Structure 1
Amino acid sequence: MTEIQSKNQPENPTFAYVGAFVDELQRSGVHHIVFCPGSRSTPLAIAFAQHPTIRTWLHIDERSAAFFALGLAKRLTAPVALLCTSGTAAANFLPAVVEAKLTHIPLLILTADRPHELRECGAPQAIDQNRIYGTHVKWYQEAALPEATNTGLRYIRTLACRAAALTMAFPAGPVHLNFPFREPLTPDPQPLPPLEQRDPIAWNGRPDGEPYVTVSEAHSSPYVEITAGDRFVELARKMAETPRTLIVVGPHLHPRLPVMLAAMARAWRIPVLADPLSQLRGGPTLYDHIITSYDAFLRDAAFIEQAAPELIIRFGAMPVSKPLLLYMKRYKDCPQVVIDGYSDWPEPTQLASEVIQADPVAVAQYLFHAVKSYAEEPQQSPGDIAWLRLWQRADSVTRQTLRQTMEHFEEPFEGRLFTELAETLPANSILFAGNSMPVRDLDTFFWHTEKPVAIYGNRGANGIDGVVSTALGISAATTATGEKEPVFLVIGDLSFFHDMNGLLAAHLHKLDLTIILVNNDGGGIFSFLPQAAHPEHFEALFGTPTGLEFHHVVEMYNGNYALVSDWSEFRAFVEQSVEMGGLHVIELRTERESNVQMHRQLWQAVSGALAQLHDTNTESLYEEERLPEKQQLDEADVISGEAIFEPVQEGDDDFDLLEQDDR
């Protein structure tokens, strides 16, 4: 605002107060607000709606709205405000707030509340909202009651600057402000102080458009400074002296880390096991040191015995793959170094020998340049080429084996949709994987695509709720920035059921989203868990079939629906959804028991192919040349071998340490 009284600002003390707050949020980098309708939040809702440069996103259901805001902030990597009225509306934000805290997403939660005289006295829609999100927010503050004075406006501008900065301050995460309001809640004219008594900066903000308080260190972090003589020199020396080094990259949102890790691994000739949310599975073939089918071949005991590491270096959060975790436990005496970029200890296995709290991009960059110090000749790398080839050939053989075996399945196989998507998705797509089985099949069957593809998931709390809304929030972010990247969501039927309300956002805001709905009529992942061994209770307690016909829901929200029966249809509808835009739901119906058997057959085929390759030449896994991706194996070799995929039994040491959860 450049005038003492904006023409959009009503002559009302409450609205002068919230207007200053919203104005200061915009100056501090908040450009999006997701709000749910309600009476007590009226002053803030109107103030946001009247601001000319803040985009408002209406959502009816608070739980879905919160996940929608989560998706917006996740894609924008910028703070997004979230507003609701008092009472249980605020409680419905909690699941998304939990996810935001665990995954470092900058959400600014604004809850309206009754004034103090209406609390704990039986007043309607009044609950205890103080610290309602507990430790799941970085910071909480209850705002003072609105006061249109110079002191009151300076206070609320300061609070806005502080809260917005804290959402982005290292590590990013949610911040909660609770606003008590007295009636009247509408902008009815009320007396304000005379113009001559108003401090221009308090009422209008700083004239240069800058925040009232500039928080200069909002994006800083307590990273270890990387200098000669510190522990990074020791880490580089250890890598040079350890031929069988392995790098594991879990989920992360560092935009520069994938390129730096790929370059560093190539320079050192080190295999990199890349989780699908590592952002290392989409892009050019520069990433030839990236191993992506390990979830399948690390189920093979013979390979595990050959692949004994001497040093494991981990970046990012914990990977999805349980076989990878069990592999790391098998070699628990191997030094494991965790590069922790958030100071939140992403190490649930209790296996790490060292945790380094440092900027992972800076670490990778340092190690990339350090390789020259340890090479015997200028053009050499210190890594062990035989160790690298072991992983590369296993990766190539596994991909081909899985691909060829899936071709023989007569009924739709859930995992195959990810190999189909890897080939069908257009460049610059965004792929979001739901929790439970989709993210695990993504890990196993989405190996790599030459096209740039960003892959997301909610892997903080791993919940199956709010997934549709998070994906729609990401779609909204692409619309807001003008990028218009096609967004795809793969989700199971129970998770889809949890968040059907979220589809309203696609209808209200004309968003583009293609949903691949994997409908096995129940909780498919439980068929892989020990609960499946107890059939007398399994269907009622764990399988939980619903028998729902989801096309009715899609129709209600004016979406486009298709039920596919083969892969040519699947590819055609995926391509059509991109051309048409809007909301599309492509349903793939599968059988839970058949899905388990097909997974087991695939693991069996991989084990057989690796065994045959090893039997042919005991040194074959160490050959210099990587097996070409399109080389065909003999069909008999592909389908041979012993079954090795059985549910881990409860009580096993591995199960106790790294129990495969249902999310």
Structure 2
Amino acid sequence: MNYPKIPLAQTVIQLFKAKNVSQIVISPGSRNAPLTVGFTNDPFFKCYSIVDERCAAFFALGIAQQIKQPVAVLCTSGSALLNYYPAISEAFYSDIPLIVLSADRPKHLIGIGDGQTINQKDVFENHILHSANLKLDLKDEHKIPEKEELPILKSIEGKLERFLGFQQGIQAYNEEEINIAINKARLKKGPVHINVPFDEPLYETTTKLEVKPKVTELEIKRRKFENFELESCVNDWNDATKKMILVGANPPNDIEQRWLDDLALDDSVLVLTETTSNIHHIDFFPSIDKLIAPLTDDQLKQLQPDILITLGGLIVSKKVKAFLRAYQPKQHWHVDENKALNTFFCLEKHIEVTPNQFFTEFSPRITHFVKSEYRPFWDDIKWKRNLKHAEYLKNAPFTDLKVFDTVLKSIPEHSILQLGNSSAIRYTQLFDLLQSIEVFCNRGTSGIDGCTSTAIGCAVSSKKQTVFITGDLSFFYDSNALWNNYIPNNFRIIIVNNQG
């Protein structure tokens, strides 16, 4: 097998292989050639070549969304890297593990007017879990102008000392940074950036590996739900007659059904779900906007919960956000092992465990169901809303609403439904979907810039029937998503052409 001759490139490739990061999306360029050569020559890696960097990054995001493991996207130096930013920010806010590998020029060529060169160090620092700025191999530093060398390096002895000792330090530093980045992407579920400097020649290969990098194993330290915190939550829960659980974006089958069934038994609990929650129960409340939109001030006060528990990611519904900001609960708890967003300006507790871990410890301590008319009252409202909704659709003219009603009924069972942003996701929120349909949408930053690319990456990875519903503007904005050879037969696009 041929390997890149540069030790740093060998280090990156070996650590990716050791840590089972096998999916690599490659953008064009020559500065990244050592890594491109290494990845494509090793059958362990599944490599995709996509020209448009923005599309490539969203394509990788779609794969990572499905396999729930880090996927790498690789580019050359310069502005190519900046085209990854929209997908990086989406991955950051949607908790999707994405590894950005950028080739860079040597440090002494940055900031002097050399071509295809920008300052790539920490370029994504506001939307990244870790930035690994690797160091150039000493074997590549012979081209540094003499006046830029440290005085000690001007002597033969100094250079020998550097090669014998400093190279080991640089190698150890690079190995540690790569390990940290990959581990953090996997553990914290988000994007990381590994910036890799290379000097020419870039295309030389060898049949022998010169380095054997150290692999740092991933340490998973689950936070425990402390007893005093648990007891406090249980006591408050048992006293409250109006409890609301709001579930945002959530992977399919992420929360065990037994906990959902337990919640459905309690008349004091209202569970509100969204299309992207991927949670279904006959006693839950999907189509939140349909429920809330017509409510009067007095009815909104009746809906106002004593305790609000939020699960999952970002919320789509503007109306529920406006409602909970205006009619704040007495307590708001968010359950997530990584982060909590104070969306409603009243967050009191961040319970840093997974939802399953929370319910495993919390539910058995609920000794009784408090008497309440909270859910029965809103069940009646929900039933009436559904009747009016169905009646309206029977006589509705041919509009966007009617189109979505027709289209959503035609989605096959056990499909994946990818939704474009803006009107596509908001109209879909007004309808109940089959339980077997898995729903995804780029709601981290809610942009239209990579929805098609994400959907294609999803279809390539999942192998399931994947239907992507998008508006015309969003479709044309990301039309380069179709400029590749990987679009599978299981992928369908439905464009709602409503002139933007």
With normalisation by structure 2, the TM-score equals: 0.87
Secondary structure in structure 1 of the residue aligned to 2:456: helix
Counterpart selection for 1:203 from 211, 214, 224: 211
Asked if 1:88 corresponds to 2:58, the answer is: no
Does 2:480 correspond to 1:472?
no
What does residue range 309-348 of structure 1 map to in structure 2 within 5 Å?
Answer: 309-332=305-328, 334-348=329-343
Give yes or no for the alignment of 1:174 onto 2:176: no
State the match for 2:149 in structure 1: none
CA separation of 1:188/1:389 partners in 2, compared to 1, >3 Å: closer, same or farther?
closer
Letter paired with 2:272: L
Alignment partners' CA distance in 1, 2:85 and 2:79 = 10
**Residue of structure 1 aligned with 2:228, choices 227, 230, 239:** 230
Q: Would you say the 8 A contact 2:252–2:438 is kept in 1? A: no
What's 1:491 paired with?
Answer: 470
Shift of 1:58: 0.9
Provide the residue aligned with 2:271 in structure 1. Answer: 272
SS of residue matched to 2:345: coil
**CA–CA distance in 2 between the matches of 1:19 and 1:280?**
44
Task: Deviation per CA, 1:419-459: give whole Å up to 9, x if none.
Answer: 445533223211112111111112222x242x412111111
> Distance in 2 between the 1:355 and 1:365 partners?
17
SS of the residue 1:105 aligns to:
coil
Which of 374, 378, 381 is residue 394 of structure 1 equivalent to?
381
Aligned match for 2:444, one of 442, 447, 460: 460
Q: Which of 11, 20, 23 in structure 1 is aligned with 2:14?
A: 23
Equivalent AA in structure 2 for residue 167 of structure 1: A
Contact 1:64 1:501 in 2 (8 A): yes
Structure 1 counterpart SS, 2:416? strand
Corresponding residue number in structure 1 for 2:481: 502
- Classify 1:128/1:367 alpha carbon distance in 2 versus 1 (closer, same or farther; 3 Å): same
1:128 and 2:119 matched: yes
CA contact (8 A) 1:432 1:488 kept: yes
Provide the secondary structure at the position in 2 that maps to 1:268.
coil
1:519 corresponding residue in structure 2: 497
For 1:91 and 1:417, the matched residues in 2 are separated by 37
Distance change in 2, residues 1:158/1:51 (3 Å): farther
**Quick one: distance in 2 between partners of 1:80 and 1:40?**
20
Residues 292-324 of structure 1: CA distance to partner in whole angstroms, max 9, x if unpaired? 133112122344354343332222234211221
Structure 1 unaligned spans of 5+? 1-6, 206-211, 282-286, 376-380, 479-483, 523-663
Work out whether residues 258 and 278 of structure 1, in 8 Å CA contact, stay in contact via their aligned partners in 2.
no
Aligned positions of 1:417-566 closer than 5 A: 417-445=403-431, 447-449=432-434, 451-478=435-462, 484-505=463-484, 507-510=485-488, 512-522=490-500
Matches within 5 A, 1:1-400: 7-9=1-3, 12=5, 14=6, 16-146=7-137, 151=168, 156-169=174-187, 171-187=188-204, 203-204=211-212, 212-217=214-219, 219-221=220-222, 223=223, 225-227=224-226, 229-253=227-251, 255-257=253-255, 259-269=257-267, 270-281=269-280, 287-302=281-296, 303-332=299-328, 334-371=329-366, 373=367, 375=368, 381-382=369-370, 384=372, 386-400=373-387
TM-fit CA distance, 1:342: 4.5
Contact 2:396 2:402 in 1 (8 A): no
Please tell me whether the aligned partners of residues 314 and 444 of structure 2 are also in contact (alpha carbons under 8 angstroms).
no
- Runs of 4 or more, structure 1, over 6 Å off, are none
Deviation string, structure 1 residues 275-307 (Cα, Å, up to 9, x no partner): 2111114xxxxx122111331121223443543
One-letter amino acid of the structure 2 residue matched with residue 345 of structure 1: A
Q: What SS is found at the alignment partner of 1:257?
A: coil
* Equivalent residue number for residue 610 of structure 1: none
| 8 Å contact kept, 1:36–1:83 | yes
- Percent sequence identity is 27
C-alpha distance in 1, partners of 2:495/2:256?
29
Contact 2:225 2:351 in 1 (8 A): no
Counterpart for residue 156 of structure 2: none
User: In 2, Cα distance between the equivalents of 1:317 and 1:101?
Assistant: 11
Gaps of 5+ in 2: 140-162
- Check 1:354–1:510 CA distance in 2 against 1; reply closer, same or farther (3 A cut): closer
2:304/2:324 contact within 8 Å kept: no
Distance 1:417 1:264, change over 3 A: farther
Separation (CA, whole Å) in 2 of partners of 1:153 and 1:312: 50
Aligned CA distance change for structure 1 residues 245 and 17 (closer, same or farther; 3 Å): closer
Residues 70 and 98, structure 2, Cα contact 8 Å, conserved in 1: yes
- Asked if the contact 1:17/1:147 (under 8 Å) is kept, the reply is no
Is contact 1:18–1:146 with CA below 8 Å preserved after alignment?
no
Count, aligned residues: 470
Q: State the 1:335 CA deviation.
A: 1.3
Kept in 2, the 8 Å contact 1:79–1:106? The answer is: yes
2:186 is matched by which residue type in structure 1? M
Cα 1:310–1:166 change in 2 (3 A) is closer
Query: Is the 2:100–2:194 Cα contact (8 Å) retained in structure 1?
Result: yes
Checking the alignment, whether the CA contact within 8 Å between 1:249 and 1:315 is kept in structure 2 is: yes
CA pair 388-420 structure 1, distance change in 2 beyond 3 A: same
Change in CA separation of 1:31 and 1:260 when aligned onto 2, cut-off 3 Å: farther
Paired with 2:258 and 2:330, the residues of 1 have a C-alpha distance of 23
CA distance in 2, matches of 1:231, 1:153: 45
Which of 384, 400, 404 is 2:391 aligned to?
Answer: 404
- Equivalent-residue separation in structure 2 for 1:421 and 1:392 (angstroms): 27
Equivalent-residue separation in structure 1 for 2:315 and 2:381 (angstroms): 19
Give the deviation of 1:153 after TM superposition: 5.5
Q: 2:88 & 2:134 partners in 1: Cα distance?
A: 20
Shift of 1:418: 4.3
Deviation at 1:231?
A: 2.1
CA gap of 1:347–1:35, structure 2 versus 1, over 3 A, is same
Aligned AA for 2:217? V
The residue aligned with 1:564 is none
Tell me which residue corresponds to 2:154: none
The alpha-carbon deviation at position 514 of structure 1 amounts to 1.3
258 and 289 in structure 1: CA distance in 2 versus 1, 3 angstrom threshold: farther
Q: Which residue of 2 aligns with 1:572?
A: none
- SS of corresponding position for 1:175: strand
**After the TM superposition, which residues 626-645 of structure 1 pair with which residues of structure 2 at under 5 Å, given as runs?**
none
CA contact under 8 A between 2:424 and 2:470: conserved in structure 1?
yes
The whole-number CA distance in structure 1 between the counterparts of 2:176 and 2:347 is 42
**Contact residue 22 and residue 44 of structure 2 kept, 8 A:** yes
SS of the residue 2:351 aligns to: strand
Q: Which amino acid aligns with 2:248?
A: G
Q: Is contact 2:311-2:335 (8 Å) kept? A: yes
Equivalent residues of 2:101, 2:195 under 8 A apart? yes
- CA deviation after TM superposition for structure 1 residue 494, in Å: 1.5
What is the root-mean-square deviation of aligned Cα atoms in Å? 2.5
Q: Which has the higher contact order (CA 8 A, sep 6+)?
A: 2
Q: Give 1:42 shift.
A: 0.6
